[in-house]
Amino acid sequence: MADNFTSLSHENRIFKPHKDFSARAHIKSFAQYKKLYNESIKSPEKFWAREAKNELAWFKPWKKVLDWKVPSAKWFVGGQLNVSHNCLDKWLGTPTANKAALIWEGEPAAPGKPGEERTLTYKQLHHEVCLFANVLKKNGIKKGDRILIYLPMVPEAAIAMLACTRIGAVHSVVFGGFSAQSVADRVFDSQAKMIITADGGFRRGAVVPLKKNVDDAFPLNDAHGNCLTKTIEKVIVLKRAGNEVAFTPGRDVWWHEEVATVDANCPAEKMDSEAPLFILYTSGSTGKPKGILHTTAGYLLGAKMTSKYVFDLRDEDVYWCTADVGWVTGHSYVVYGPLANGATSLMYEGAPNFPEPDRFWRIVAKYGVTILYTAPTAIRAFMKWGDEWPKKHDLSSLRLLGTVGEPINPEAWMWYHTVIGRKRCPIVDTWWQTETGGIMITPLPGATPTKPGTATLPFFGILPEVVDDQGNAVPHNSGGKLVVRKPWPSMLRGLWGDPKRYKEVYWSEVPGSYFTGDGCRQDKDGYFWIVGRIDDVLNVAGHRIGTAEVESALVSNSKVAEAAVVGRPDALKGQALVAFVTLKTGVTATPALRDELRNHVGKEIGPVAKPDDIRFAEALPKTRSGKIMRRLLKQVASGAEIKGDTTTLEDLTVLTKLGSAED
């Protein structure tokens, strides 16, 4: 790691933190970062114990900082605390109590019109959370029960999450863009007792029929004959869109009616440090999505510390993370991280370009947003829509910009820096995963010199390394697999109900180390350049999609014989999904069938997983042992051969002889 950044070669553009920013930042210099980082690696238990004591409010102190036996980590063993207490009660009786905790902006009805707006102070949010926690109890929820949350981006999503944590129920938030089948799959796996949903949510002027999707999930069965009626006892429905919904008496209840029947006195449960906090399903390289399990103390400490240091949160900030709460970014950086810091977190319901492409900039100007955290795919879309949209608005309140979800190409970084940041704002490119709970590799804005396209250096306590197939560290500037050598507090504790798969997926590739699934290279300064997934997971517009999941959705259609899904580079989304499909005998490839199959995937998984391109083939290229030659298909998918919308069957078997038998 070079200390003197002026000595770096010219091929790298270096952006040093501005001295005025550094002067006021939590971490003020690179030397200070390094000193703390070195301490966190040399004496992790001492470091984390100090941070946990300073940052979190405990009901009972822990006895042991870390109990680590690969691959099982227990942090702050014997301690007790509560997440909602740390996010809410902690601020009561302080000046923060009357500060905005959540500012919410709904989707506007027409161009130029403001969206609906609502602000909840910490005191008000506490009140709402206590009420709803009592509603959960009244409806039979006990400590440890699982609850599915399937809501639009409205304050009630955060209220429901915090209410679960208040009474020790384990939430599993399902993104509103997932289908009835995905809701059902998550209930089967988590054995949830309750679903919290809404009549509908707004998206680009249309209503997303969330309650109807839940109703459609009830008749579905899994391979073991499970169905929702076996575990789901109650469905709580929020009135949001005002659309008509069916109601099953005894099972379905209205949120507003239930809240009117309870009082607001609900003490926070004392939860063990390692009590399950939430399960979040994410795509892996095989089978159905995996239930990533996070627990109480370690997760909260990670979310809180990274929010504080990476976003350099200050009391007066208006902080906006544009992620949906259905993804981990929404968990850690819309809800838990900012609230645990007493910050003001902005939530927006709609799309970035509805009703017009200046939606984000209008919101930044309206609320005086100071910190903006979004995805490279959104930035690339803004670039395409043109500079005139951000230029129409006063963005001078912004002081810090962040990105997450996929590698950011240097052009997009420079555009973000110049057009949005007006060359004043540092950019934090943050690398992390659903599994890691919080940010892992990132610049600290007052300390770390940045270069467009790299997430730079590890956060405190994180020891990433780039290794070869044998698990040995590779020299700088050679590519390899990204692993993490040491446990960290906010790491996943397992896959819900599947300890074997947990060990296989994350801890067997490089025994003893956490395998991220990402490829990476460190440059001569030790900066980490993430290349992207090296497993069969694609990153489409910042969303993780498993190719195996889309393939099984396709073959579940009776017209499809075989399917192989690969990624191809896409200027806007990073990667696009290309499906190669062979049809059953007698079925003809037509443009209508292509649409039918795309919609079928939408129904099986959700609109986010619809292939961008479906290419019909006579047969798929296979190795002698019968494995589909994906590498070859990737080349075909991204090559010059693309036939666009033609529906003729391609003969890909001719390619087989070109490919390696190893594919």
Binding residues (CB under 6 A) for ligand WTA: these are 282, 327-329, 404-407, 429-434, 455, 516-518, 530, 532-533, 539, 544
Residue nearest to ligand WTA (CB): 434
Min CB(279)–ligand WTA separation in Å: 14
Give the number of other Cβ atoms within 10 Å of residue 188's Cβ.
21
Amino acid, single-letter form, for residue 544: R
Min CB(551)–ligand WTA separation in Å: 20
Sequential DSSP letters for 498-557 = -HHHHHHHHHTTTTTSEEEEEEEEE-TT--EEEEEE-SSEEEETTEEEEHHHHHHHHHTS
Nearer Cβ to ligand WTA (231/409): 409
Residue 336 CB burial class (10 angstroms; 0-12, 13-18, ≥19): buried
Min CB(290)–ligand WTA separation in Å: 11
Nearer Cβ to ligand WTA (86/430): 430
Sequential DSSP letters for 197-234 = EES-EEETTEEE-HHHHHHHHTT-B-TT--BHHHH--E
Nearer Cβ to ligand WTA (441/583): 441
User: Which residues lie across from 38 on neighbouring strands?
Assistant: none
In order of 13, 372, 532, the CA distances from 454 in angstroms are 11, 18, 12
Q: Hunting for tokens 């680009």 — which residue is that? A: 204
Min CB(287)–ligand WTA separation in Å: 17
Nearer Cβ to ligand WTA (226/409): 409
Nearer Cβ to ligand WTA (80/430): 430
Min CB(105)–ligand WTA separation in Å: 23
Min CB(98)–ligand WTA separation in Å: 32
The answer to whether residues 445 and 21 touch, using CB atoms and an 8 Å cutoff, is yes
Min CB(542)–ligand WTA separation in Å: 7
Q: How many whole angstroms separate alpha carbon 395 and alpha carbon 422?
A: 8
Bond into 61 cis (ω within 30): no
CA atoms within 13 A of residue 5's CA, in its CB half-sphere: 17
Which of 434, 461, 429 is closest to 448 using CA atoms?
Answer: 429
Q: How many whole angstroms separate alpha carbon 181 and alpha carbon 186?
A: 9
Nearer Cβ to ligand WTA (304/594): 304
Min CB(159)–ligand WTA separation in Å: 23
Angle (nearest 5°) at CA 151 between 150 and 152: 140
The answer to whether residues 661 and 626 touch, using CB atoms and an 8 Å cutoff, is no
Min CB(523)–ligand WTA separation in Å: 15
Nearer Cβ to ligand WTA (163/484): 484
User: Which residues lie across from 208 on neighbouring strands?
Assistant: 201
Which of 7, 22, 12, 9 is closest to 413 using CA atoms?
Answer: 12
Nearer Cβ to ligand WTA (374/433): 433
Nearer Cβ to ligand WTA (172/516): 516
Nearer Cβ to ligand WTA (513/539): 539
Q: How many whole angstroms separate alpha carbon 287 and alpha carbon 437?
A: 22
Min CB(528)–ligand WTA separation in Å: 9
Is residue 121 within a helix (H) or strand (E), and if so which, with residue range? strand 117-121
- Here the tokens at position 429 are 């490119």
